[in-house]
Structure 1
Amino acid sequence: MNTPDPMNNTTRLPKMAALVLAATLATTGTIAILPGNTGSVYAATTSHNMNTSIVHVQVEGKAISTQGILGKTGKTLIPLKEAAKALGATVTYDAKTRTVIVTKGKQISTYLLYTDGGAKDNLFVTFNSSELGDTYDSQVIKGTTYVETKALSEPFGYRTVWDKATNTVIVTTAGMNAITITPTTLAHSINNTYTNVNFTYPVISGLTNEAAQTKINNALKAHVEQWMATMDKQIQEAGKPVSPSMQYEGDSGYKVSYNQNGVISFLLYDYGYLGGAHGGETLTGMTFSLQDGKALKLNDLLKSNASYRQDLKQLLQNEIKKQDGAEDGTLDSFNELSKNSSAYLDDYYLTDSGFTIFFQQYAIAPYAAGTPEFHFTFNQLLKAGTNPLKAYQ
């Protein structure tokens, strides 16, 4: 498999990367810009010219004045500041941390631009007041910061829809379940001067079935409580850091990957750092029926295909081969993992286009690969016209 950028699939921006970025900016005398500010620059590498195609942008049914662009990787980029304000969010710039902060109600996400040393610009976005998040494409052109559309829609629970006929990208809540999702911080028992913790998890409200709502919320809270207990135990076993400057880390966060048709799907992020070259992360997919609060497995959605396990295994093998995974051992690792068990299929989350299966760090690939993900549509596994979510609508 081609070795990916080690920043890909990361859920927490390593402190060293932030420090390198800050040092680079200090050396060059430039600062990361707040979109729309004039007289500010990010860095020479982030202001280069690029071939772009104009994309119209709509936010909740209304067009914004600044058009979007197609980035070099083919992803749609939209102006962060204007699009965020169109969502009703406030946008500020923190000069100390050199981040853009977008706030909407209790949801707060930060946007940190950095360069990977080449022509490509990256964006690390935290989710829902947590320190955890993901990387997205970005580009700074003539004082305006453009970001991958999902860099705005995913942290704030919106859908991204593409209208091919009008060449328009749409950020919207249309078609979504009529519920509210609130980021909530778990009170923790870890109390020392050398550990930073931030355990954030989602709480849903607005369901008419209060029993189902409670069941879902209890499951989400139990997950983060378990991670907190795990971190507490590991911190006690590790003892106080040898270096007085070292800080342990314990974090949890999430994003909403799907929120339609009576079903909600979360991707939960857990991160811990107890010294060493880097921390460790664990991803958990949790999908629920809003009718009764039942946790849904892939079997619930693909059961009309009696051979879906074998079919998915073959699809995964094919995808790994396409990415040269047969050359670096990833295919062998997957074959060994899946030889006598299909438990790996529990690691999934829903998307607007289907579902994604992911693998934990080191499960089938080296650390640099992050958490490998493979995306599929239901049409690849089910008969034409089959709606796997019909029973939950």
Structure 2
Amino acid sequence: MNTKFRVCASIIATGVLLGSLGLNGQVIDASPSKPSVSASHNVAKKNEVTLKWNGKALSQKGVLLHGVTYVPATVLRDAAGLPLKYDSKNRTYTLNAGYHQLSAVVYDSKEIGLSVNGLYAGEPGGQIINGRLYLPFKTVSEYLGIQGQWSPSSKTLSLTKQQADLTIKSETLRKTILGVEAVVNYPVVSGLGNEEAQSQINSVLKKHAEGVIARAEESIKELPPGEDSFPYAFEGNFVVHYNKDGLLSVTAHEYSYLGGAHGMTFKNSFTFSLKDGKQLKLGDFIDLKGKKKKLDNRVLSELKKGGGYLGGFQGVPGDAEFYLKDNAVVLYFQLYEYTAYAYGFPEFELKLKEWK
């Protein structure tokens, strides 16, 4: 990852949105109604991908670039019915999908940072092509509830809405403490046949949200009055990574700014069995006994290779933070735990077929 983008990633990961500042001073109008010529890229016909929605071919095309399939944000607006807005002041697109809100910040023509509910969505970022915003299908699939079937022979991506196992809504806890407002959004599940399991899941998620408010209250009482130009901030939100096959995987993240050079973000993930409401651990998905040494060696190697390694890694603990995605778990560590802040949250995708 180049230094410039690493900084972008870190900024997004910690909840600070630069928006209109721009990282190279170039001003871009990314409005759908006024596409920027400077932000356009010529895409050859051979890079086009045919898109279908519920089996019906769409007039808009996707794009295949460097092995990544991108779909126009306007397809998600027009076909999937997801509201799409553009904030010209902060040069930010917002794609609202129920409890998930995807933001695309146009830093310049080649750097469009993506976040979901304020949490950095990883690479690749978005693309501005011929004045339109394109999103990597990987991100669309993971966070916006859209499934896709790829046909390599015809270069066609068939899109449908993903059928979730249960309904999720966002609730908010809000408390003003000595003039500082702490706000936490957290998920509430419904529609689960087992009411006891549903209640157990909701209890865990709400208790975590209440803990964020409690930690904010403790911190605020120990702080001097905040400056108007850089007020204190305490915010919490969440993303749902997986909601099918009898499993639910959620990451809650909390951001705080207590003064100084930057704020701080923490992440905690919760993966549940919908059958009984039991909270699952990493060892429920991968072999932490027979393959522990192999896992430790891989993680240490990648920590060192990725840059910013601070030392101190003693192996992957049984209660390690992780979240679930299609056919894989993603193990991660906190900011500063093993790497410098600018390198974000170290993540390690573990394919289930390899690590079971």
Given the superposition, is the C-alpha separation of residues 142 and 302 from structure 1 closer, same or farther in structure 2, using an over 3 Å criterion? closer
Given the superposition, is the C-alpha separation of residues 57 and 353 from structure 1 closer, same or farther in structure 2, using an over 3 Å criterion? farther
Question: Counterpart of 1:179?
Answer: 166
Given the superposition, is the C-alpha separation of residues 141 and 177 from structure 1 closer, same or farther in structure 2, using an over 3 Å criterion? closer
* 1:223 shift after superposition: 1.1
- Give the whole-Å Cα distance in 1 for the aligned partners of 2:141 and 2:313: 34
> Aligned to 2:31, which of 30, 33, 39?
33
- Give the whole-Å Cα distance in 1 for the aligned partners of 2:181 and 2:23: 21
Given the superposition, is the C-alpha separation of residues 110 and 320 from structure 1 closer, same or farther in structure 2, using an over 3 Å criterion? closer
Q: Does 2:168 correspond to 1:168?
A: no
SS in 2 for 1:281: strand
> Aligned to 2:210, which of 209, 212, 225?
225
> Aligned to 2:233, which of 223, 234, 249?
249
> Aligned to 1:338, which of 314, 318, 330?
314
Contact 2:19/2:106 (8 A) holds in 1: no
- Give the whole-Å Cα distance in 1 for the aligned partners of 2:99 and 2:355: 39
* 1:207 shift after superposition: 0.6
Given the superposition, is the C-alpha separation of residues 69 and 308 from structure 1 closer, same or farther in structure 2, using an over 3 Å criterion? same
- Give the whole-Å Cα distance in 2 for the aligned partners of 1:59 and 1:277: 46
Given the superposition, is the C-alpha separation of residues 150 and 379 from structure 1 closer, same or farther in structure 2, using an over 3 Å criterion? closer
TM-score of the pair, normalised by structure 1: 0.79
Question: Counterpart of 1:92?
Answer: 85
Amino acid at match of 2:175: S
Question: Counterpart of 1:58?
Answer: 52
Q: Does 2:97 correspond to 1:101?
A: no
Contact 1:360/1:371 (8 A) holds in 2: yes
Q: Does 2:270 correspond to 1:286?
A: yes
Query: What per-residue deviation string (whole Å, max 9, x for no partner) do you get for residues 23-53 of structure 1?
Result: 946xx4x52212xx2xx13472x22446672
Contact 1:123/1:147 (8 A) holds in 2: no
Question: Counterpart of 1:388?
Answer: none
Given the superposition, is the C-alpha separation of residues 161 and 232 from structure 1 closer, same or farther in structure 2, using an over 3 Å criterion? farther
Question: Counterpart of 2:127?
Answer: 139
> Aligned to 1:189, which of 153, 172, 175?
175
Within-5 A mapping of 1:289-300 = 289-300=273-284
- Give the whole-Å Cα distance in 1 for the aligned partners of 2:183 and 2:228: 21
Unaligned stretches of 5+ in structure 1? 383-393
Amino acid at match of 1:139: Q
Question: Counterpart of 1:18?
Answer: 19
Amino acid at match of 2:115: V
Contact 2:303/2:339 (8 A) holds in 1: no
- Give the whole-Å Cα distance in 2 for the aligned partners of 1:354 and 1:379: 8
* 1:257 shift after superposition: 1.4
Question: Counterpart of 1:317?
Answer: 300
Amino acid at match of 1:125: S
**Aligned pairs, how many?**
352
TM-score of the pair, normalised by structure 2: 0.86
- Give the whole-Å Cα distance in 1 for the aligned partners of 2:247 and 2:41: 43
Q: Does 2:243 correspond to 1:259?
A: yes
* 1:312 shift after superposition: 1.5
* 1:14 shift after superposition: 2.2
Contact 2:52/2:159 (8 A) holds in 1: yes
- Give the whole-Å Cα distance in 2 for the aligned partners of 1:229 and 1:43: 49
Contact 1:80/1:145 (8 A) holds in 2: yes
